[in-house]
Amino acid sequence: METAVLLRSSNKLIFNPRHYSPHNFFRLLSSSSISSSSLTPLNPHRSINPLTSRSLPRRRKLIPPSATSSSSSPSFHFNKHHFSTLSPHAIATPYSLDASTVPDEVAAKYGFEKVSGEFIGECKSKAVLFKHKKTGAEVMSVSNDDENKVFGIVFRTPPKDSTGIPHILEHSVLCGSRKYPLKEPFVELLKGSLHTFLNAFTYPDRTCYPVASTNTKDFYNLVDVYLDAVFFPKCVEDYQTFQQEGWHFELNDPSEEISYKGVVFNEMKGVYSQPDNILGRAAQQALFPDNTYGVDSGGDPKVIPKLTFEQFKEFHGKYYHPSNARIWFYGDDDPSERLRILSEYLDMFDASSAPNESRVEQQKLFSEPVRIIEKYPAGDGGDLKKKHMICLNWLLADKPLDLETELTLGFLDHLMLGTPASPLRKILLESGLGDAIVGGGIEDELLQPQFSIGLKGVFEEDIQKVEELVMSTLKKLKEEGFETEAVEASMNTIEFSLRENNTGSFPRGLSLMLRSISKWIYDMNPFEPLKYEKPLMALKARIAEEGSKAVFSPLIEKFILNNPHCVTVEMQPDPEKASHDEAAEREILEKVKASMTEEDLAELARATQELRLKQETPDPPEALRSVPSLILRDIPKEPIHVPTEVGDINGVKVLKHDLFTNDVLYAEIVFNMRSLKQELLPLVPLFCQSLLEMGTKDLTFVQLNQLIGRKTGGISVYPFTSSVRGREDPCSHIVVRGKAMAGRVEDLFNLVNCVLQEVRFTDQQRFKQFVSQSKARMENRLRGSGHGIAAARMDAKLNVAGWISEQMGGVSYLEFLKALEKRVDQDWAGVSSSLEEIRISLLSKNGCLINMTADGKNLTNSEKYVSKFLDLLPSKSSVEAAAWNAQLSPGNEAIVIPTQVNYVGKAANIYDTGYKLHGSAYVISKYISNTWLWDRVRVSGGAYGGFCDFDTHSGVFSFLSYRDPNLLKTLDVYDGSGAFLRELEMDNDTLTKAIIGTIGDVDSYQLADAKGYSSLLRYLLGITEEERQKRREEILSTSLKDFKEFGEVIEAVKDKGVSVVVASPEDVDAANKERSNYFDVKKAL
C-alpha cells in the first residue's frame, strides 16, 4: 500500500469511505493528466485517490463520443445539505426481500450455513452473512436492485518485512492460473470484457481483488477468472512471473552492467521518489514499531531484492486460503448462484490455521512522544530553505474504537479540516508558515485509528512554530468549541453525501464493500459499518442536547492533547539523495557482478534473454480462448440514450435531462471563455478558487462557505478547454457546477449568483495562499503524474487548446505561479484588477448555457429560479473572441526532476496526415495499449505502465509511459507501433474481444449526474446522436484491415512526432549523449 496516507480526500466519510491509497495492480491513469484537469476542479483540497479517480481510460479524449464521460464528472467541492429537509424515509424505496433470499436447503446443498442476515435501510439491501462449513470462509451476500454488480475476495496478508511480498503476490496471481493458463488473464479481461471495475489492491494488512459489471454473464466470467487466479495461480510454480512482477537481475550482454528490473520494483521506486509518500510511510512505521504496520507491504526498493521465491510461495500457501478469506457479492443477480459458484472452489480446500497466523497484533501505546527526521530527494534548483515538511501524528487508541466514537471523530475531522473554512486548516494556511497541508487528519481504516496534520514548504527555522501552532490551535478548539454554523454545515455536508451516495464511476457496491471490510477484516461485525443511521441520529441528538463543545472537546483532549503516543516527523530536502540512492544501487550491482564467474554471467544473460523471449511471445490461441468472453450479439447496437431537451429561457440555451436523481437537482452554468485576453488565461484557475474562497462585501469567506454548506450539496467552479474536430478555434468555457435538494434550488441559484457577482477580489493574503498551495500541488503532480505533465506539454506544442490547458496546469503554469508569487507582493492592485477583468469578460448572458439533470417535475419547478438568475446577469451586445494563437515551440524536451523513474511521451497530430476519424481508432488504440505497449513497456521494459491515447477532437495521438526505468528504449517501442499493427495477425475471437472491450469503455457505467454532464460536453463539442450511432457501428464492424491501415497513419508519430519526457538528470544526460542532444533540457524542480 502506498503508506503515504496523506493524499486522500479530506471529507472521507463522504466520497471515499476508504482513505487509504493502496497499491493498485494497474493504475487507472485518469484524472491525473492535464487535459482531465481541465475537466475537474483545479482546486480540490487534496489530490485524487487512485481509487476514486475515474475507472475509465486515462483521459477524456480517449473516450469515444458516446461516453465523454464519467471521467469528466468532477468531484464536487463539498456535498452539503441542511439535514432537516432530508429524512431518510424520503429516499428509501422498498425492496422486495423474497427474490433475494437463499433457502436454507440451497445454502446447505452448496456447503454453507447462514450466520445472520438483515435488511439494511441505508443501502436498501438485504444482506446475509454465510459461512462455508468446511473451510470457514465467510461470504457477505448483498442483494438489491443495483445493476452494477460487485464481487470481491479479500485475504488478510500482514507482512513481516518490507520485501513487498503481499504486493508482488497481488500482481503475480493475475498472471495466469490453472483454468486460464495464459500469461495475463487480467489483461485479457481488460481487453475484452464489459467490466465497470477491474483491479486489485494491497493494503498494509490485506489484499483485495474486486470486479464489477452490469452484465450478468460478463460478471460471472470475471468472478471465475478472479477465483481461479487467487486460489490456483501459476506464479507459485513459475519463477519467471516472480522475476517479472517482483524483481530480477537483468543483463543483456556479459560486457554490460547488471540492473534491477521488475514491475513492483519500479512502481515502488516511483512511490519512494515522492516526498508526501515518504512522509506518510515514515509516520506510519514510527507509529507502529511493534506490529505489521511497522514495515511496508508495498515493498521498499532497497529491501525488495532480498525476497526469495521460496518465501513468496510460502506466503501464498499460507494466506491465500479460503479459511483466511472474506468474500463479497453485491447487486441484482441471483444470490443462490453466488453460492454455487463459490462452492466449486471452496470445497476443494480443508480448514487451515491461517486465520490465527494472519491476525494483526495491536500496537501498545507509548508513554513518551517520538521525533524522527527523514530526508527526501529534492532538486537543487529553487529555494531549498523553504522546502522542509513537518507533520504531527498520533495513534489514537490501543484497540479499535466503537463505531459511534469513530463516527464522532469523523465529524470532528471534517469540522477541523474538511473545508477551506475549517479552523485548523484555515489557521495553518493563513499563518504563512507553509505552502500546503500535509497529513490526512483522521485515518480509521487500519486496526487502530490515527490522526496526522502538518505543513510542507516550511523554512527550517519555522518548524517549531508550526508544531506550536498545531498544538495551540487544537487547545483553542478544545476550549472554545466550534461555531454553530460550522457544526451545522459539517453535519449537512456529511449527511447529504451519505444519502446521495454518489460514488462517481466507482461502483457503489465496491464502496460499501471497502467500508464493511474495514471492520470485518478484524473479525468485527461486517454489517455495522453499513449502518450509519442510528449512530448519526444519536450523535445529532447529543449535539442538540449537550452542545457541540461537550461532544467534541473531550475527544480532542483524550485522543490528541493528552495522548503521549505522538510521532513528529520532520522531512528535510536533500538534493543529493536521488543520486546517492542511485549510486548505492549501482555499487551493489557492481559487487554482484564482480562476485560472478564468467559462466554465471553467461547464464544470467541467457536467463535475461529467455525471460524476454517468454514475455514477448504471444499466448497460443487455445490459451487465449480459455478466458470467457461475451459475443457481439450480447452487445446493444445503440449507444446509451441520455434524454436531452434543448430549450430556451430568457434567450439563453437550457439543456434539460429528465433522469431519476432521488430529488437532487444537478446544474451546470457554463460561460464562454473565448473573449478572455490570452495573457489572462493562466490566472483562470486562481480566479475560480477566489470565487469560492474570497468572500463578499457582506460575507466573510468562512460565512459564504458555511452558507453553501448549509443550503446546497456543493458548488465548484473550473475551466474546461478542448479542441473541436474540424475547427481551428478551441472550445473554452468556465463551468460552475452545483447541486441541491429540490426544495433548495432557489438557494442554489442565489448562491451561484452571489459567488459570480458579489465576491470581491481584495484579500491579498488569501490570494497569496492560493498561489502557494497551487504551486505545492503542481510540484506534487510533476513528481507523481509526470506522464500527465508530459502529455500536456506535447499538446501545447501541437494545438491551441493544449496550449491553454498547459498554461493552467502544466510546467508553464508552475512557472507562472512562481512569478505570480512575487507579483502579488509588488503589484497586488494589478493582480486584483486582472481578476476583475476576467469576471467582466466572462459574465454575460450572451455566452451563457445552462445544463440541468433531475426528474421532469423538478426540472420544471427549477425554471423560474433559472430565469431569475439569468435576469441578474449582465448582457453584452456581442461577445468577441480574443486572438488566441499561441503554441509552445515544437522541439523535443526533457523536464528534469529529482526522481528515480521516468515518464516518457511522444505525440503527433494524425489529422494533419489527412486521416479522417473512424470508430475503429478507439478499438485500435485500446488494443495497442493492452498488447504492444503493455508487453514491451511494462512487462519486459519494467515500467509500471505504458499506453497510448487518441484525442479525437484535436487529432493528437500520443504515447506515454509511467514510472519507467527506461527512456530512449521506450521511444523505440513507440516507434515500432506502426510496424506492429501492419504485421498484426489476429483471429476473430481476439478481434471480437477487442471490440467488446471498447464498447465496455464507451458504455461505461454512469450515475444520473454523470450522464447529464456527459451530454453537456457532447453538446459543447458538437457531437450529435447521429455521430454517436455512426461511431458505434464503426466500432462494431472494425476489421483487421483497419488495424493495418492505422499502422500507416501512426507512422506520423514516429516520423514527425514531438517527444517530451519527465525524467532524472542522469537518464536525460545519458540520452543526450547517445542521441546527440535529442532533448532540450528544462529544469522544473
Please measure the distance between the N-terminal and C-terminal CA atoms of the chain and give it in whole angstroms: 26
The amino acid sitting at 606 is R
With respect to Zn ion, which residue has the nearer C-beta, 23 or 656? 23
Cis peptide before 297 (omega within 30 of 0): no
Q: How far is CA 563 from the centre of its chain?
A: 33
The DSSP bridge pattern shows strands 325-331 and 138-143 to be parallel
Q: Which three cell numbers stand for residue 1026?
A: 447521429
With respect to Zn ion, which residue has the nearer C-beta, 226 or 1019? 226
With respect to Zn ion, which residue has the nearer C-beta, 644 or 900? 900
Q: Nearest distance from residue 298's CB to Zn ion, in Å?
A: 7
With respect to Zn ion, which residue has the nearer C-beta, 267 or 500? 267
Q: Nearest distance from residue 209's CB to Zn ion, in Å?
A: 13
Residue 907's DSSP bridge partners are: 958, 1058
With respect to Zn ion, which residue has the nearer C-beta, 23 or 206? 23
Q: Nearest distance from residue 25's CB to Zn ion, in Å?
A: 6
Residue nearest to Zn ion (CB): 23
The DSSP bridge pattern shows strands 259-261 and 645-649 to be unpaired
Query: What's the CA gap between 891 and 229, in Å, rounded?
Result: 46
Has 746 been annotated as catalytic? no
Q: Which of 170, 445, 500, 779 is flagged as catalytic?
A: 170
Q: Nearest distance from residue 55's CB to Zn ion, in Å?
A: 16
Q: How far is CA 1011 from CA 39, 73, 745, in A?
A: 15, 9, 20
With respect to Zn ion, which residue has the nearer C-beta, 27 or 1018? 27
Q: Nearest distance from residue 171's CB to Zn ion, in Å?
A: 6
With respect to Zn ion, which residue has the nearer C-beta, 23 or 1032? 23
Q: Nearest distance from residue 28's CB to Zn ion, in Å?
A: 12
Among 1046, 1027, 1034, 1037, residue whose Cα is nearest residue 978: 1046
Q: How far is CA 954 from CA 35, 678, 685, 915, in A?
A: 12, 20, 23, 12
8 Å CB contact between 902 and 965: yes
Q: How many of the other CB atoms lie within 10 Å of CB of 844?
A: 18
Upper half-sphere CA count for residue 761 (Cβ side, 13 Å): 24
8 Å CB contact between 80 and 489: yes
Burial of 983 (C-beta count, 10 Å sphere; 0-12/13-18/19+) = exposed
8 Å CB contact between 859 and 866: no
Has 357 been annotated as catalytic? no
Query: What's the CA gap between 446 and 566, in Å, rounded?
Result: 17
Phi/psi at 77 (nearest 5 deg)?
A: -55, -65
Q: Nearest distance from residue 268's CB to Zn ion, in Å?
A: 8
- One DSSP character per residue, 55-111 reads SS-S-GGGS-TTT--GGGSPPPS-----GGG--HHHH-----SGGGPPPHHHHHHTT
Q: What are the residues binding Zn ion (CB under 5 A)?
A: 23, 267
SS3 959: strand
Residue 1063: in which H helix or E strand, if any?
Answer: strand 1058-1063
Q: Nearest distance from residue 435's CB to Zn ion, in Å?
A: 30
Upper half-sphere CA count for residue 366 (Cβ side, 13 Å): 19
Query: What's the CA gap between 122 and 93, in Å, rounded?
Result: 10
Q: Nearest distance from residue 26's CB to Zn ion, in Å?
A: 8
With respect to Zn ion, which residue has the nearer C-beta, 267 or 445? 267
Handedness of CA 927, 932, 934, 937 (dihedral sign): negative
SS3 671: strand
With respect to Zn ion, which residue has the nearer C-beta, 11 or 202? 202
With respect to Zn ion, which residue has the nearer C-beta, 267 or 574? 267
Q: Nearest distance from residue 167's CB to Zn ion, in Å?
A: 6
Q: How far is CA 190 from the centre of its chain?
A: 18
Among 75, 82, 120, 74, residue whose Cα is nearest residue 100: 120
Among 677, 622, 646, residue whose Cα is nearest residue 883: 677
The DSSP bridge pattern shows strands 138-143 and 645-649 to be unpaired
With respect to Zn ion, which residue has the nearer C-beta, 299 or 1057? 299
With respect to Zn ion, which residue has the nearer C-beta, 167 or 338? 167
Q: Which of 184, 245, 488, 668 is flagged as catalytic?
A: 245
With respect to Zn ion, which residue has the nearer C-beta, 263 or 403? 263
Which 3-state string (H, E, C) describes 253-266? Answer: CCCCCCEEECHHHH
Among 884, 871, 872, 881, residue whose Cα is nearest residue 847: 881
- Percentages helix, strand, coil for the chain (3-state, rounded to 5) are 50, 15, 35
Q: Nearest distance from residue 22's CB to Zn ion, in Å?
A: 9
Burial of 181 (C-beta count, 10 Å sphere; 0-12/13-18/19+) = middle
Q: Residues with catalytic annotation?
A: 170, 245
